[in-house]
Structure 1
Amino acid sequence: MIGGAPGAFMGDVHRRALALSGQFSLVAGCLSRHPQQALAAGRALGLAPERTYADWAQMARAEAARPDGIALAIIVTPNDTHLPVAAAFLAAGIPVLCEKPLALTLEQAQHFASRFTAKANDMVMAYTYSGYAMVREARRLVQAGALGAIRNIQVEYLQDWLGNADSNGGWRLDPQTGGAGGCLGDIGTHAFHLAEFVSGLQCQSLSARVSRLVPGRAVPDDAQLQLRFSHAAIGSLWVSQVATGCGNGLRLRLYGEKAGLEWKQEQPDTLALSTMDGRTTHTARGGSAVLTPSFLPRGHPEGYLEAFARLYSDTARLLGGLDAPLLPRLAAGVRGLGFVEAALQSGARDGAWTMLRT
């Protein structure tokens, strides 16, 4: 693991998820950009001293040279170091699982992708919500034609933890470390990926209103977008980290010719499928009608950690030479930056329709 010292939210989440998957164990790390903190964090996690590194470039070289070197590098650093760290490990022949966004800019992501075209399948992006069992079931239903042709896609991701001027957003609110996209890069890319992942459609252009609702912010904290997808589908996306009263309100609604479908992250174990005759069917994870495998039986809630663990289980399949078609790869990371760039450009031009570049 690179970054994610004990107490860091994403580092702790990844360690719990990889353990839950039963496929990985943490054996090496450069857990902080500060050398002494990195060494102390390694000791705290029980890593062997010779595999506790103060420099991630040294770690990549050393682990690649070991006969028992790591099988996967997990990147949970601030956004500005995602690309250089990933490049070091991919160049050393070590697959990578990286937090999003892939880079600070689309240009950086495109250059990286062109450099590592041959290793594109060795780069997994941590789009967590694609790991939820009922998100994958929703995708299966769409592909099976349960909704008919998709007409409209509505997705929102609402939080409130940055709702005050004195909220501690740390590096996420600094465009030099978090990127110029602010909430668009931090959680908007999740909503964007979810919409494309479940619908099977690609967003082609968008019109955005991008705002800094808390005065003094250097990056956006709220954005509302209209979307145009392939196959003549339309939609909208609202992302906010200043939506008072919202914890982690990710919601997806799809409307097709035959039915509509809804999934909510805060109630992740059920899907609602509604038809024009007034019937709504609620399908529970783990039931006999759900083909997507579960970690736990029906009635035992699964959530965020299980979704992450499912990504790790798929990654283990990938490393074992098996197919893992639902894993988000390098191309998904590039599309996320294409979304952020188009939204910022459209917002700067008063909502002008803007094509996505990837």
Structure 2
Amino acid sequence: MKSFEQPIRIGMVGGGPGAGIATAHRAGLRMDGRYDLVAGVFSRDLDKSRQAARELGVDESRVYASYEAMAVAEAAREDGIEAVAVVTPNASHHPVSKVFLEHGIHVICDKPLTDDFDKALELHRLAEDRGLIFTLTHNYASHAMVREAARRVRRGDLGAIRMVQGEFASGWAAGDVESDTDNKQAAWRTDPDQAGEASVIYDLGTHIHHLARYVSGLELESLAADLSTVVPNRRVYDNANVMLRFAGGARGALWITMAATGAEHGLRLRVVGSKASLEWCHEDPHHLQIRYPDGRREVLAQGGATLSADAEELTRIGLGHPEGFLESFANIYSEAAGAIAATRTGSRPARDELGYPSTADGVLGLEFVDAVRLSAATDGRWTAVGQLEL
């Protein structure tokens, strides 16, 4: 390997025993050999953090009692981490990310960017001012067939975009998950202090909002929202219906819930144009459907010969070998690794329009959250969005 091809030295904050999403992050950072996980604060409990380090093959001398101590110590080491993966609950994304940025360390953070719009904007400006790479893991946009969908929209295959319909109808919290004391995800995702009262929007809504923007290439102009709690005694909103108006006149709608009884992951997007429409579903991620006015339906498969270079770059094996959730994380981590490696020689390559999600996407996601909350609080009033210049 040349020096700039050496794996990125990365640390992790969060991701101790029972932290589900951290498993996907670790699979993603390791899949293509672009990173070495060398340090971490895997739990608030130092003993549990050390246990996690042993299981992950991380030297216990580089397990820290706090993320602040980790940032200071690693920034001072000649072989210190170049990047950190932040896989903690929403409320801590801002303070954790901020301290590493302040110490010159690139950040790869789980979504949402923060739990507050102003804090998100602060992180965006800090990363820009310091010339650091900040990657947000909206991983669904890194599925090969989602990238194919976005490319086909950009090159005009669908014609003028008229409608965008998305749903993230998950059933994981359709029951009384709060009573399961061993369910760490439920413990924080249904806690308004950790996940926000509008938990379903922070958790699932920011994903489908980003996916709708990413594939359609459109930005929101206004929205009207209804928030509700369908599971008795729950302290956060678990269901939302949002109508959308896009710049340029297209219309849309989103259904977002974590309480759809019997549903699996439930992520689906449809984009309707004047020439054709497309549909992608997370539970069948390696296929993309295209429908035409004459009734024809084309089903594109990942690895197929007619796909764009964009989709080919995100495909590891080929036709007939499905790639999914973990590979989507690997795609984000690999694209981020390329950008981080470039900074070793003092450059900061421009991010491709269809590349890894950035702080700008995170800020727009928090703007969406705030607009949904405001609209719902005013009985579904149409609320302006998309007024930012980033």
After TM superposition, the score normalised by the length of structure 2 is 0.89
CA contact (8 A) 1:105 1:179 kept: no
Q: Which residue of 1 aligns with 2:287?
A: 270
Deviation per residue, 1:78-103 (Å, 9 max, x gap): 11110101001111111000011111
Partners of 1:120 and 1:191 in 2: CA distance: 29
Partners of 1:255 and 1:287 in 2: CA distance: 23
- Of 4, 18, 28, the residue aligned with 1:7 is 18
Determine whether 1:83 maps to 2:94.
yes
Deviation per residue, 1:154-191 (Å, 9 max, x gap): 00001111111344511111111112221111111000
CA contact (8 A) 1:120 1:329 kept: no
Q: Which residue of 1 aligns with 2:154?
A: 143
SS at match of 2:223: strand
CA contact (8 A) 1:104 1:178 kept: yes
Aligned length: 358
- Of 316, 319, 333, the residue aligned with 1:295 is 316
Partners of 2:286 and 2:81 in 1: CA distance: 34
- How far does residue 121 in structure 1 lie from its aligned partner after superposition? 5.4
- How far does residue 124 in structure 1 lie from its aligned partner after superposition? 0.6
Partners of 2:143 and 2:351 in 1: CA distance: 15
Q: Which residue of 2 aligns with 1:332?
A: 361
Partners of 1:107 and 1:355 in 2: CA distance: 17
- How far does residue 200 in structure 1 lie from its aligned partner after superposition? 0.7
SS at match of 1:25: strand
Matches within 5 A, 1:1-358: 1-119=12-130, 122-167=133-178, 168=180, 169-291=186-308, 292-293=311-312, 294-321=315-342, 322-325=349-352, 326-356=355-385, 358=388
CA 1:217–1:265 in 2, change beyond 3 Å: closer, same or farther? same
Which consecutive residues of structure 1, in runs of 5 or more, have no partner in the other structure? Answer: none
Partners of 1:313 and 1:107 in 2: CA distance: 29
Deviation per residue, 1:226-254 (Å, 9 max, x gap): 00111111100000101111111110100
- How far does residue 115 in structure 1 lie from its aligned partner after superposition? 4.0
Deviation per residue, 1:205-225 (Å, 9 max, x gap): 100011001122221100011
For 1:65, the aligned partner's letter is A
Partners of 2:158 and 2:141 in 1: CA distance: 19
Percent of paired sites with the same residue: 42
Which consecutive residues of structure 2, in runs of 5 or more, have no partner in the other structure? Answer: 1-11, 181-185, 343-348
Runs of 4+ in 1 over 4 A off after TM superposition: none
SS at match of 1:70: coil
CA contact (8 A) 1:160 1:247 kept: yes
Partners of 2:130 and 2:107 in 1: CA distance: 10
Instruction: Give the superposed CA RMSD.
Output: 1.4
CA contact (8 A) 2:173 2:258 kept: yes
Partners of 1:111 and 1:122 in 2: CA distance: 15
Partners of 1:146 and 1:290 in 2: CA distance: 13
- How far does residue 261 in structure 1 lie from its aligned partner after superposition? 0.5
Partners of 2:323 and 2:220 in 1: CA distance: 30
Deviation per residue, 1:283-310 (Å, 9 max, x gap): 1110111121211211001000011100
For 2:297, the aligned partner's letter is T
Partners of 2:364 and 2:350 in 1: CA distance: 22
